[in-house]
Amino acid sequence: MDRNRGSAPAPGEARGRHKWAAWAAPVAAVVLGLGLAIFTGCGSEREAPRPGPEPGLVTEAAAAEETASAARADPRGAPSAGAAAAAAAPALRPGDPARGRELATQFECGRCHDGLDVPPVAMEKHCFHCHQDILADKFKGASTTAIAKWKPHIAYARDVPSLLGAGRRYDPAWIERFLLSPYDLRPLLRPTMPRLALDAQQARDLAAYVTRERLATVPEEPSLAGADLARGRKLIEDKGCGACHSFTGVAALPEAPPQLEDEHYAFEERAPVALAPDLRNARDQLSVRTVYEWIANPKGIKEDTPMPKTELEPDEIRDLAAYVLQAPLEAVPPKPIPARLPVLERRVSYQEVSERVLGMTCRHCHSDPDIARGDGGAGNTGGFGFKPRGLNLKDYESTLAGALDDHGERRSIFAPLSDGTPRLLGALLARQAEEAGQVNPEIRGMPLGLPALPPEDIQIVESWIAQGRPR
């Protein structure tokens, strides 16, 4: 069989409802993990004013996708020509904070992020609060056996930056670019900001909402004149900044952050490292004044930051700020797209696909509502601006039943894309391309807001599809 062709329908495909399968997942494991976002909102149940396309497997609203594609920034934050053109588009109105708040509600930012003036989200809808309680053995309403089963599946999605003080920290123009073209800001935080169905005007309105409390008259920026970059570099080394931060593009720091693979890593030890951004991005996000104030007293800007205050003299703060903002940076090549592995000759069963892929990641957004108090995740019952698509990957029959299209009809997730690639496979490959800065306008990469699957796991899925999707 041609590797890019969909296989013949498997028995039971496109059926309606099926008996629930015994796959356990945490109550809150209904949604993607997000990286830094620059907006927030509550998990409102009211009708969203402008629902977006289904994430990944069913395509709609191409206009919003084209707008976002035109504004892509490179993976290191420097705007591309398309991003510059989008930012200068005369059709865009000035940002509207009130509309931005409505959009923050529509896109349910509060399901992951704390820190802005919005009502709290119920525990069953909040991705990270629930995971934090489960991993800390504080979760109520489930057996010890069930909790032990959940933990390995959610350990990667328990740390998320709050947005407290975001308006004081970030440049609104950078917020717009980032929302349209998210990239990895925190190397040791697995979840990243997902690529949502936002257009350029929506991004501008959200940026206006987040920065609504910025001073009308911005104070004069501190001067970096006379700064000693060599001394700034030595201070970064002597103060141990590399224990938490990476700094891509400069000579390697002598101290490196620890790896955070253990799901039982203490939060107080894990959070400062997981949430520490790559300092390369500071010059795109922050003003000179913000960097000064942050180095001098981090909690004075964001009181819940895990970053400690370091006692420094004014000239030391200047030199550190200058190194962060002005140190020459080497270009970082785009992440390569992994080579696609050949279809396996051995038999691949649904059980193997479920254990390796669907049950490890996909069911967090495509799960059974019965195990999440009525919420089956953004890819099933809807959320984060996406319409309900009814794609439930809880078991074999439900997976073959497919998803709802714009007319409410069931559509196979194995139907071919324009190049013949089955949609499920195409979504997994598209996520690899997104990490390399290449967006496929036909389909959204999956898993949304999480690292691409390794080639070996994609090989398992492709082989199963090529073999006719055997049970």
For helices 127-135 and 144-154, give the axis angle rounded to 10 degrees.
Answer: 120
Among 3.30.43.10, 1.50.10.10, 1.10.760.10, 2.40.40.20, name the CATH number for the domain at 229-326.
1.10.760.10
- DSSP state, residue 140: -
For helices 200-210 and 62-70, give the axis angle rounded to 10 degrees.
Answer: 70
Q: For residue 213, what are the CA distances in angstroms to 38, 120, 220, 342?
A: 14, 21, 18, 54
- How far apart CA 285 and CA 167 sit, in angstroms, is 11
Q: Find out whether 386 and 52 touch, Cβ atoms under 8 Å.
A: yes
Q: Find out whether 166 and 294 touch, Cβ atoms under 8 Å.
A: no
Look up residue 101 and give its amino acid: R
| Burial category of 152 from C-beta neighbours within 10 Å (exposed 0-12, middle 13-18, buried 19 and up) | exposed
Helices within 141-218 (DSSP H only) = 144-154, 166-169, 172-180, 200-210
pTM for this entry: 0.78
Q: Which residue has the tokens 């509207």?
A: 96
pLDDT at residue 383, as a whole number: 85
Phi, psi values for residue 299, rounded to 5°: -70, -15
In DSSP notation, 75-125 reads TTS-B-HHHHHHHT-TTPPPP-HHHHHHHHHHTTGGGT---SSSPPPPTTT
User: How do the pLDDT tens digits run along the chain, 471 residues long?
Assistant: 444 444 444 444 433 333 323 333 333 333 333 333 222 233 333 233 333 444 444 433 333 443 444 343 444 444 443 444 445 555 899 999 999 999 998 998 888 888 877 777 777 778 788 888 888 888 887 888 988 888 877 877 788 898 888 888 899 999 999 999 999 999 988 899 998 999 999 999 999 998 887 766 667 889 999 999 999 999 999 999 999 999 999 999 999 887 766 554 555 667 888 899 999 999 999 999 999 999 999 999 999 999 999 999 999 999 999 999 999 999 999 899 999 999 999 999 999 999 999 988 898 789 888 766 678 888 888 888 889 999 999 999 999 999 999 899 999 999 999 999 999 999 999 999 999 999 999 999 999 989 999 999 999 999 999 999 999
The b/e string for 125-143 (b: 16+ C-beta within 10 A; e otherwise) is bbbbbbbbbbbeeebeeee
Q: Find out whether 177 and 71 touch, Cβ atoms under 8 Å.
A: yes
In DSSP notation, 288-354 reads HHHHHHHHH-HHHH-TT--PPP----HHHHHHHHHHHHHS-----PPPPPPPPPPPPSS---HHHHI
- How far apart CA 153 and CA 149 sit, in angstroms, is 8
pLDDT at residue 215, as a whole number: 61
Tokens at residue 403, please? 């998803």
SS3 content of the chain, % helix, strand, coil (to 5): 35, 0, 60
Which of 33, 26, 83 has the alpha carbon at shortest distance from 190? 33
The domains of the chain are located at 62-210, 229-326, 350-466
